[in-house]
Amino acid sequence: MTIPVSHLVFDCADTGAMTAFWGALLDMKTTEDDGEWAELEPLGEGGPVLSFQKVPEGKTVKNRLHLDLRVADVAAAEERARALGATLADEPWANRPEHDFRVWRDPEGNEFCFVRAG
């Protein structure tokens, strides 16, 4: 039996801000946002949907799940993310020159990585 993943859901305080950030970063359109639940268009043909669910509590610890975003030009991706409100993560294990990835946080603090394509 195959069980497909239909949604990847982020808990958040502001669904509009999150869809604005992730939609702009990934060049994806918001398809739904009622202030409590929001969605971006599917990640590719038949792919899961990035969804955002309003919750009362804020983020307090590192995510147990995060997105890795494969990019050809890490510097350009980082510039775009920073302009949209992301911040570079400061964990001691992250962002070392020998790594092929850089860890960032979206405007609500959720970690994600830019991974060098290749």
pTM greater than the 0.95 cutoff: no
What does the DSSP 8-state code read for residue 19? Answer: H
Q: What is the pLDDT of residue 74?
A: 87
| 46 phi/psi in degrees, rounded to 5 | 70, 10
SS3 110: coil
Beta bridge partners of 82: none
CB 18 within 8 A of CB 12: yes
In angstroms, the Cα distances linking 64 to 42, 67, 111, 112 are: 22, 11, 9, 11
Position of tokens 């990835």?
Answer: 101
Q: What is the pLDDT of residue 97?
A: 66
**Tens digit of pLDDT for each residue in 60-100?**
888 889 999 999 998 899 999 999 999 999 766 666 666 78
